[in-house]
Amino acid sequence: MRIGIIGAGISGLSAALAMRRHGHEVEIFQREAGVGGLIETFDFDGLRIEHFYHFLCATDFGYFGLCRELGLEQRIRFARARTGFYHDGRLYGFSTPLDLLRFRPIPMSQRIRFGLFALEARMRKEWVQLDELTAKPWLIDRLGKRAYDVIWDPLLALKFGGYYDAISAAWVWHRLHRVAQSKGRMGYLEGGTGLLLDTLTERLQQIGVRIHPGRPVARIIEEQGRIAGLALADGTSWPCDRVVSTVPPPVLAGLLPEGWEGYAEALRRIQYIGVVCLVLKLKRPVSHNFWLNVNDARAPFNGIIEYTNLNPLEGKHGHIVYVPFYVATDHPYYRMDDDALVAKSWEALKRIAPALQDSDLLGRHVARAPYAQAICTTNFLKLMPAHRAPLTGLHLLDSTFLYPEDRTQSGHILKAVACAEDIAE
Ligand SMILES: Cc1cc2nc3c(=O)[nH]c(=O)nc-3n(C[C@H](O)[C@H](O)[C@H](O)COP(=O)(O)OP(=O)(O)OC[C@H]3O[C@@H](n4cnc5c(N)ncnc54)[C@H](O)[C@@H]3O)c2cc1C
């Protein structure tokens, strides 16, 4: 079978590997000049690092399996990753049960409820009923209003910007579940996603998969209700029997052939939030935490990820800090000039870590992604499209299908393998 894959992110690349294993002829068409999509890297003054932070959890079995297959398993590292909380001008530890008991911004009774709730989320398996519930009232009911306002409100805003109060309880449960199972230890690949991408693309080339960077797909070609090929933006076409789309459903809607407007409309109902993410290189650390939640009216962000507190990068590249802003693409922060956004964030970082001085900011990079995260609202199960599109021969892979799980590289790899098996059947 000839299979055309749209997109060379981790989904497209791992799907190609799995499909080639089944003996199919596979080619990947990628819009950008580079591969990787959301895990793509850039050169940060001699350090190759991803535009967006990535960490691993103990249950990322799809990722571990791919690394094993590529001979990279020995490069996976796990380390204790501290979490902190900056609230109203004070920095608190937020990693251990003792930290929680000492977390004064919420009353003691709610600290205890929070701890019990985290334990319950770790053990819980059933989640379908939670799809119908909105996270905010569910969390207030379980934890208390103050605990919600102080802890969860900024966490949800960190991930979903202005949509934070429409998110389903199922998504929140799984987020807690995944992190709790890691028991305070997070992982990373030594060499980063750059190493993963290089090894994976090299393997694909060896087994005969062709990757076409800088050749976006303009339209899917259909003949009598079946997939017939891909029309590319350069005016050429590539005939095939199957198409695997790894682009977000609203983007796929724009690639469908004429006559599929109803299906396109259903795909467009899934909304996404964008992200603008600063990567800063500092001479000294902000704190000793990997993940620092921020709930402070003066800070424009709700959290920072101090990557070098997980992966020290051999101490050669200073302190790398990611500052993400999950916002709609028409939000002023998404459109703000890079220098202005960095300046605004830098002022807030200096407030959090008063020892920081202007001379400590050694470098900065700003990345944007318009489709960073599907907005997992209540009854999201009803919005999710099927893996097999009504257009015969079209298969969909996207983070939407991971729900209630958060989007992870590992989840995408497992879905790609499952898609290959589905096609083989
Ligand atoms: C800020 C941030 C933090 C994250 N943190 C983590 C983390 O800690 N751990 C973790 O596991 N995951 C994390 N993720 C998630 C992870 O990066 C993504 O889930 C994953 O990389 C998505 O891979 P994908 O291949 O499905 O999609 P993408 O990476 O989006 O790839 C799709 C590709 O399709 C291409 N494309 C679009 N239109 C066309 C077209 N017309 N023709 C051809 N190609 C096209 C795009 O250019 C893109 O390269 C994070 C993501 C973000 C944004």
User: Per-residue pLDDT for 4 more than 90?
Assistant: yes
- Omega of the bond leading into 404 within 30 degrees of 0 (cis): yes
> Taking the CB of residue 213, how many other CB atoms lie within 10 A of it?
16
Atom nearest to 409 CA in ligand 1: 11
Is the full-model pTM beyond 0.75?
A: yes
Q: How many angstroms is it from 358 CA to the middle of ligand 1?
A: 33
In 3D space, the residue among 317, 365, 272 whose CA is nearest the CA of residue 40 turns out to be 365
Q: Tell me if residue 314 falls in helix, strand or coil.
A: helix
pLDDT of 137 reads 94
Each residue of 89-133: pLDDT tens digit?
999 999 999 999 999 999 999 999 999 998 888 888 888 999 999
**Structural domains present in the chain:** 2-40+191-269+385-424 (3.50.50.60)
Q: Is the distance from the beta carbon of residue 12 to the nearest atom of ligand 1 less than 6 Å?
A: yes
C-alpha 313 chain-centroid distance: 22
Each residue of 207-244: pLDDT tens digit?
999 999 999 999 999 999 999 999 999 999 999 999 99
In 3D space, the residue among 325, 331, 361 whose CA is nearest the CA of residue 346 turns out to be 361
Q: Whose CA is nearest to atom 47 of ligand 1?
A: 31
- Choose which residue among 6, 175, 245, 247 to substitute to test ligand 1 binding: the one with the highest number of ligand atoms within 8 A of its C-beta: 247
How many residues are there in the chain?
A: 425
Q: Is the distance from the beta carbon of residue 159 to the nearest atom of ligand 1 less than 6 Å?
A: no
Q: Whose CA is nearest to atom 25 of ligand 1?
A: 9
> Taking the CB of residue 139, how many other CB atoms lie within 10 A of it?
24
Rounded Cα distance between 118 and 8, Å, is 36
In 3D space, the residue among 367, 372, 366, 378 whose CA is nearest the CA of residue 404 turns out to be 378
- Choose which residue among 246, 272, 334, 365 to substitute to test ligand 1 binding: the one with the highest number of ligand atoms within 8 A of its C-beta: 246
The structure tokens listed for 338 are 């890079």
In 3D space, the residue among 70, 96, 50, 99 whose CA is nearest the CA of residue 311 turns out to be 50
pLDDT of 142 reads 93
Q: How confident is the model at residue 276 (pLDDT cuts 50, 70, 90)?
A: very high
Q: Whose CA is nearest to atom 49 of ligand 1?
A: 37
DSSP states of 34-49: SSBGGG-EEEETTEEE
Rounded Cα distance between 37 and 247, Å, is 10
User: Per-residue pLDDT for 71 more than 90?
Assistant: yes
> Taking the CB of residue 313, how many other CB atoms lie within 10 A of it?
17
Share of the chain above pLDDT 70, in %: 100
